[in-house]
Amino acid sequence: MSYTVGDGIVTLALAAGVVGYFYVRQESRRKRLEMIHRERLLAMEKGIPLPEFPIEQPRPGTDPDNVIPILGTVLLSLSVGTMIVLSLMLQGEEHGFWVAPLPFAFLGVGFLAFHFLGKRG
């Protein structure tokens, strides 16, 4: 494969866009918290009581207990599939490289075991 300068520029632009998005999101959070802090300080100086509210509301539909088994399943299935494909496609001396994704398979099994064994204890 031969990559051109244009391919590199497109890749860098996409990476810069992703980094820029996360930077803008973080800065907007920081500015919002800063404004809330200033408003609360002014209210405290004037003696106005402010209701307590959570700074970050959890997004609806997100359950942090589901992240570990999902990640374990994804890692295990992708690594086993990659091992099967490498085992079938590699010939000769390269055939021994089919075990390269094995650490990711073990990581997936570890995540699944951690999740299911942790529920019992």
Domain range list for the chain:
1-57, 59-121
Position of tokens 């992708």? 78
Give alpha helix (H) positions in the chain.
5-46, 67-89, 102-120
DSSP code, position 74: H
* Count of alpha carbons within 13 angstroms of residue 57, beta-carbon side: 5
- pLDDT tens digits along 16-64: 999 999 999 999 999 988 988 888 888 888 888 876 766 666 667 666 6
Exposure pattern of 57-82 as b/e (b: 16+ CB <10 Å)? eeeeeeeeeeebbeebeebbeebbeb
- pLDDT tens digits along 86-113: 999 999 888 889 999 999 999 999 999 9
